[in-house]
Amino acid sequence: MTPQPVPARPRLVLASASPRRLALLQQAGLEVDALLPAEIDETPQRGEAPRFLAQRLATRKAEVANKIKNNQPELVGAYLIAADTVVAVGRRVLPKCETRDEAEDCLHLLSGRQHRVYTAVSLITPRGAERRRLAEARIRFKRLSSAEIAAYLATDEWRGKAGGYAIQGRAGIFVATVVGSYSAVVGLPLYETYALLSGEGFPALDFWEP
């Protein structure tokens, strides 16, 4: 019997430079062929709800990165995934903190209360079809003392993080409850991401085969 050729592995592009998102995809057994971070204006529009902000930004990142991808012959025909994470208290969107004062304000606001994390995923298929999913998680922080806030700020883990914290780091000890997707809070909801890919013809992962 003539052996059948092994189908080529589909290529996958991540429209991000985030090591957290890359690590999550690798954790799920997905090999990423290229990182194409998209630089966009992430300013919320007037009156824009946090969930719609996350969806709009993920979609825009995907569109910008897809134009870059299509100009690279080795990546034409690849699947492209983009994501955006928004941390909110009510309708108030918390910043991706770049200064200690911003992070301190966020931690005081989050102390002892519930907030929401919205992570939107946008997929562009090899045929150019666009698909989207949104994951939402509700998180409650313990009440933080001034000493705990000061100690966390000294780590610099907050820098560049939405809401001024990274749940997968030292701030994990502040989290009393999480309802929803933990991976979405880290930066990429794995269930929704793989549902998008598999729904658009991405082959099943080898370790899921019977």
Residue 44 near residue 53, CB atoms below 8 Å:
yes
Q: What is the extent of the structural domain holding 90? A: 12-208
Higher pLDDT, 204 or 80: 80
41 belongs to the catalytic site: no
Does 116 reside within a domain?
yes
147 in a structural domain = yes
- 4 part of a folded domain: no
pLDDT band at 203 (very low <50, low <70, confident <90, very high): confident
In a domain, 3, yes or no: no
* Amino acid in the structure at residue 53: L
In this predicted model, what pLDDT tens digit does every residue of 55-89 receive, in sequence order? 999 999 999 999 999 999 999 999 999 999 999 99
User: What Å distances lie between residue 66 and 26, 35, 45, 111, 164, CA to CA?
Assistant: 21, 11, 23, 39, 29
Is 89 a domain residue? Answer: yes
Catalytic residue among 41, 84, 101, 105: 84
Give me the pLDDT at residue 21, please.
95
Region 83-110: mean pLDDT is: 97
pLDDT band at residue 8 using 50, 70 and 90 as cut-offs: low
Check if the beta carbon of residue 169 is closer than 8 Å to that of residue 157: yes
* Mean pLDDT for the stretch of residues 139-147: 98
Lowest mean pLDDT among 6-20, 42-56, 163-177: 6-20
User: Distance between CA 161 and CA 186 in Å, rounded?
Assistant: 10
Strand partners of residue 169: none
Rounded to an integer, the average pLDDT of 26-45 is 93
Mean model confidence pLDDT for the chain: 92
CA distances from 172 to 25, 28, 132, 167 (A): 21, 21, 28, 5
Residue 6 lies in a domain: no
Separation between Cα atoms, residue 134 and residue 132, nearest integer Å: 7
pLDDT at 201: 83
What global pTM score does this model have?
0.90
Q: What is the mean pLDDT of residues 36-40?
A: 93
**Percentage of residues in the chain having pLDDT higher than 90:** 85
For the residues 85-97, what does the mean pLDDT come to? 96
Cα–Cα distance for residue pair 196/202, rounded to 1 Å: 9
Burial of 15 (0-12, 13-18, 19+ CB in 10 A): buried
Report the domain count for the chain. Answer: 1
Spatial contact of 50 and 93, defined as CB atoms under 8 Å apart: yes
CATH number at residue 32: 3.90.950.10
Residue 7 included in any domain: no
The pLDDT, as a whole number, for residue 207 is 54
Tell me the C-alpha distance between 2 and 188, whole Å. Answer: 42
Residue 5 lies in a domain: no
Report CA dihedral (91, 134, 98, 23) to the nearest 10 degrees. 160
pLDDT over threshold 60, residue 34: yes
pLDDT at residue 3, as a whole number: 45
